[in-house]
């Protein structure tokens, strides 16, 4: 209806796809955090805390769960289950963030958008009534 391509993308396509895009990005991060098989195959194990991620290797949460649970010491097994709980909590938080940032489904306006649409409709109605008044019966 006369809008440029980018204006259409910005005002129609992105708001419609925002929920799906946000969910896909955050769910893929959550899945990557939760994946264990590739991490177990390619990562090393270390028992020390590394505060500089560019320097030495550091244990990931899935690998820590794997290593702690298969240990014969009861304290390490408990630590493994606690690590698994932290990993599940992290994935739950990422899913919740995906739902919050994903927003409402397409076609649902926020309160602000509803007020703005009502104001635009009111202006249009007054403009149309003014045009009809000029033309006369």
Residues 15-62: pLDDT tens digits?
788 777 877 887 777 777 666 656 665 666 666 667 776 777 667 777
Q: What is the pLDDT of residue 132?
A: 85
Q: Please report which confidence band the pLDDT of residue 134 belongs to, taking 50, 70 and 90 as the band edges.
A: confident
The reply to whether 63 and 114 lie within a common domain is no
The reply to whether 78 and 117 lie within a common domain is no
From the list 74, 18, 67, the residue with the least C-alpha distance to 43 is 67
CA distance 65 to 31: 16
The reply to whether 122 and 95 lie within a common domain is no
The reply to whether 98 and 53 lie within a common domain is yes
Helix intervals (H) in 13-60 = 14-34, 37-42
The reply to whether 80 and 125 lie within a common domain is no
Number of structural domains the chain divides into: 2
**Average pLDDT of every residue of the chain:** 78
CA distance 76 to 98: 33
The reply to whether 42 and 88 lie within a common domain is yes
Q: What is the pLDDT of residue 29?
A: 76
The reply to whether 124 and 59 lie within a common domain is no
The reply to whether 73 and 56 lie within a common domain is yes
The reply to whether 97 and 118 lie within a common domain is no
CA distances from 115 to 84, 110, 111, 129 (A): 46, 9, 6, 21
The reply to whether 92 and 29 lie within a common domain is yes
The reply to whether 67 and 116 lie within a common domain is no
Q: What is the pLDDT of residue 123?
A: 92
Q: Please report which confidence band the pLDDT of residue 106 belongs to, taking 50, 70 and 90 as the band edges.
A: low
What token pair was written down for 133?
């008044």
Q: Containing domain of residue 25, as a range?
A: 5-104
């Amino acid at each position: 209806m006369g809008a440029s391509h980018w204006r259409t993308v910005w005002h129609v396509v992105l708001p419609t796809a925002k929920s799906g895009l946000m969910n896909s990005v955050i769910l893929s991060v959550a899945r990557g955090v939760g994946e264990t098989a590739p991490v177990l195959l390619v990562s090393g194990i270390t028992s020390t805390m590394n505060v500089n991620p560019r320097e030495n290797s550091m244990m990931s949460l899935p690998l820590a769960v794997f290593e702690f649970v298969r240990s014969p010491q009861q304290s390490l097994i408990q630590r493994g289950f606690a690590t698994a709980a932290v990993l599940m909590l992290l994935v739950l938080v990422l899913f919740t963030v995906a739902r919050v940032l994903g927003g409402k489904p397409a076609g649902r306006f926020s309160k602000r958008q509803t007020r703005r649409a009502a104001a635009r409709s009111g202006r249009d109605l007054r403009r149309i009534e003014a045009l009809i008044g000029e033309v006369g019966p």
